[in-house]
Chains A and B, each alone.
Chain A
Amino acid sequence: MFYTIQSMADARQSKAGWGGDGTSSRGASKRRPAGEASPVLEKSIGLLQVRYGPRVIQPASTLSHRSAPPHVSTGFVQLDALTGCGGVPLGAITLFTGRTTSGKLTVAYKVLANAQRTSGRLAGEHRSREAPLRGVAILDLTYTANPDYLARCGVDLEHLLFARAPAPDQVMDVIFDLARGGLRLLLVDGLPDLLRDVAVARRFDAVLPELKMMLASLPCAVLFVDEARPPWLRWLRPESGGIAHCAALQVDLQREQWLEHGRDLIGYRAQAQVVRSRWARGGQMVPLEIVFDDTVRARETW
C-alpha cells in the first residue's frame, strides 16, 4: 500500500541508508510482501491521524484525478486544449496580454460570445445541474468598446452590460460587485489605464488575492486584458506582478502576419502562448487565425 507521504519517507530512508525499524530498506522489502507497510510506518501514520485528523494522510489510490474546472471555450480548439482546462476557467482570474493589434481583445470577445451561448449546464460544471443563462459584462476602462465589433464577433448585445467606472478608485468595487452579481464572465478592458496611478496599482495588487478567493466560490470568470509594454518602459517603471501571480491562466498573444486575399486584408494570424496555467504546462504556443468577413470568426489552422 502506498501513501502520499511514502515518497518523502522513502527519500529520507534512502538518504540515511536506514529503514524505519532500524534495518535497511532493501532488506525490509525482501522480508515484507509487496504492498504491505512497515509497522513503524503504520505507527507513524496512526500518530499523525490521531494528532491532525483522519484525513491528514490518505492512500494515494483513493485520490481522484484533478478534474478540469467549469470553463468557457475560447472558440479556438487548439488554444482550449493548450490551456489544460478547456478554455477560460470559471471561478478564477484569467489574463490576456499582448501588444496592440495582437488580437487579444478579439479572442476575449470570442470568449464573451461563447460564455453567452453556453446555456444550461456548463462543461465541467458539477455544482448545479441546470445553471440558468447568465449575462456577461464589460468593464470598459478605456471607453473604447465598440458594440458593432462585438456584435460581429458574435456577442449578443441583449445579454451584455457595459460598465464605465468614472474613477480608478471605484474600479475594484465595481469588479467585486459585478462578479457577485451572477454574471458568467466579466471582461476588464484597459488594465494599463487603471494601473497608471501608483496608488491605485498598489491597492489593486492588495485586493487581488481577496478577489481570487471570492471567485473560487462563484461560477464567474474575470478576464483581464493587459497591454504588453515595451522593454524600455518596463525598465523605467517596473510593472506590478500581482495580476500575473493571481491569474490561474495567462495567455500572451502576438500577431504573426496579416492574411491577404489578392490585395485585400482578410484577417491575421497570431501566436498564442500559454504563459501560465494551473492545469497544464506553460510555454506552449499555438497559431490562431482570425478572419474578417462582415463577421469575425476563428479559422482552424489545421
Chain B
Amino acid sequence: MSVLSCNIPSFLLALAGRQGPAPAGRPLVLMGEDGRVVTASEPARACGVAGGMSMRQALARCPDLVSRELDMQACQAEHAALLSTLAQTGLPVEAQDWGSAYVDLREVTRELPDAQSLCADLGRQVRHTLGEALQPSLGWDTGKFTARAAAVRSQPGRMRLVSHDEEAHFLSPLPVTLLPLPPAALQQLDWLGVRTLGHFAHLPWPAVQQRFGPPGKLAQRLAQGQDDRPVHPTVNARPEPIEVDLDVPTTVQEEVVGTSMHALRPHLNELSARLEGCRQMRAELHFADGTRRAIHHAFVQPVCAPETVRAMLAHELHRLTWPGELAALQIMLLDVGELVPAQLSLFPELDESLASASRTPFVDLVTKLAPRHGGIFWRAKVTDEHHPLPERRFTFAQAI
C-alpha cells in the first residue's frame, strides 16, 4: 500500500475567513442550519465551546463570541474542487472529511523517495487551484490512518512521509483522540488513563474487543500501524441503492421511517464497524400514483448513528408534501468516508498548564528537589467547576 493523505486544516473556518476575519481576533463559530455550532476557532475552543452546542450554550461559555452561518454550498464547491484536482491525476481518490482526501499511489510508487516528489507535485496543484489560504498539509505512509496522522501533524504547505520502519515510533506518542472512535469510547479511554496511541496499542486485544467491540479492535490495529484498509474510490462512483419495499402503500410517516430504518440498519452497522460514515443521503420516493419525489440531505460530518439518520429521515419526510400513498423508496448512502476524530489535540488544558509552569514560582524549587524525590510534585487546575462529579472538576499535572 502507498497512500497519500491530503488535509486542509480548519477547512470550514478558512473558508469563512475568506469573507473577512473575525473582528479584532475575537472567537469565531460557524452555525449550522439547525442553530447549533458546527465548528469553532481555537480561541473559542479554549473557552470551552464545542461542536453541537446551541448558541446560548456557546455564549454562556464565551460571551465575546462571533457567529457566522455555515455556507454549505461554498463548502461543497471547494471540496469538490479539491477532489477533482486530485482526481485529474487518474489515481483512485477517496473523499474524507471537509478538505480532506486519500489518494492511492499504489499503482505509481511504493517507495518513499518517489512518493516524495509525487506528493510535492500534488500539493502544488492543490495550492494552485484553491489558493494560499487553503493550502493543504500532506502525509504519506503505507496505511491510511498513519498517512492521515502524518498529515494532521504537519503544517500547511508541508508534508510528512513516514517510512514503514518508523511507523510505531511515530504513532506511539500521538493522542488516542486521533482514532475515529465515538466520543463515549474516547471518554472511557480517558477514564482508564489510556491517552496515547502507544498505550492503546499495547493493551490486550481481547480486553479491547470485550469493552469496545469490533470498532475497538479495528482502532487498536490502526494504533499499531496495521492498517490494511484499501482506498475506496468515491469520486465519480455511484453506490448501490438500498431498496425499501412497503407491503402496502401508505401515508403513515412513522411506518415508512420504521421500514426504511429496518433496511438501513445493517448498512449503518457495517459502516460503524469500519469506523466510517456517510456524508450525504439521497432518497427517491415512488408514490402509488406514479409521482416521484427526491430527498437529498448533506450531513456536516460523516454519520453512521441510526438515531441521527432516523431523525433526519423523519424530518425530511415531514417537510415533503405527499401527493398520495407511498409505494416504495430507494435510498443511497453517498460520500462514505472515515468518521472524524473527536479532537485533534489531546487535553489542551494540560498542555497549557505545563506551558505555564515556567511562569510559576515553583519551577526552581521543583527542579532542585525532583532529582532527589522523583516526580512527586504536582500542580492542579480546575477545568470544569460545574461538573456533576466532583473528581472530574479538576486535573493534576506534573509540576515540571
Contacts and interface: CB of A to CB of B under 8 A. Distances in A.
Nearest to B387: A148
A135 B379 contact: no
B394 interface: yes
A181 B362 CA distance: 9
A246 B393 CA distance: 38
A177 interface: yes
Contacts of B381: 147, 157
B385 interface: yes
A178 B361 CA distance: 13
Contact of A166 (B376, B382, B385): B376
A68 B394 CA distance: 38
Given A134-B361, A147-B394, A148-B385, A161 B379 contact: yes
A123 to B, nearest CB: 22
Contacts of B382: 147-148, 151, 157
B374 A161 contact: no
B376 A163 contact: yes
Contacts of B23: none
Contacts of B374: 166
Interface in B223-240: none
Contact of A147 (B366, B376, B380): B380
A135 B373 contact: no
Nearest to A294: B385
A181 B380 contact: no
Contacts of B399: 161-162
Interface string B364-400: 0110110011101111111001000010011010010
A148 B362 contact: no
A271 B145 CA distance: 63
Contacts of B385: 148, 151
Nearest to A145: B380
Contacts of B210: none
Chain B interface size, as a band, is 20 to 34
Contact of A161 (B365, B368, B390): B365
Contacts of A147: 380-382, 393-394, 396
Contacts, number: 71
Contacts of A133: 361
B83 to A, nearest CB: 48
Contacts of B378: 161-164
Nearest to A146: B390
A36 interface: no
B88 interface: no
Contact of A157 (B365, B368, B376, B379): B379
Nearest to A155: B380
Nearest to A182: B365
Given A164-B376, A165-B373, A165-B376, A146 B368 contact: no
Contacts of A162: 377-380, 396, 399
Given A147-B394, A148-B393, A161 B373 contact: no
A173 B374 CA distance: 12
A157 to B, nearest CB: 5
Which 10 pairs show the lowest CB-CB distances between chains A and B? A147-B380, A162-B378, A147-B394, A148-B393, A181-B365, A161-B362, A148-B394, A135-B361, A164-B376, A151-B382
Interface of A: 133-135, 145-148, 150-151, 157-166, 170, 173-174, 177-178, 181-183
Given A150-B380, A170-B373, 9 more contacts: A135-B360, A148-B394, A151-B382, A157-B379, A164-B376, A165-B373, A166-B376, A177-B372, A181-B365
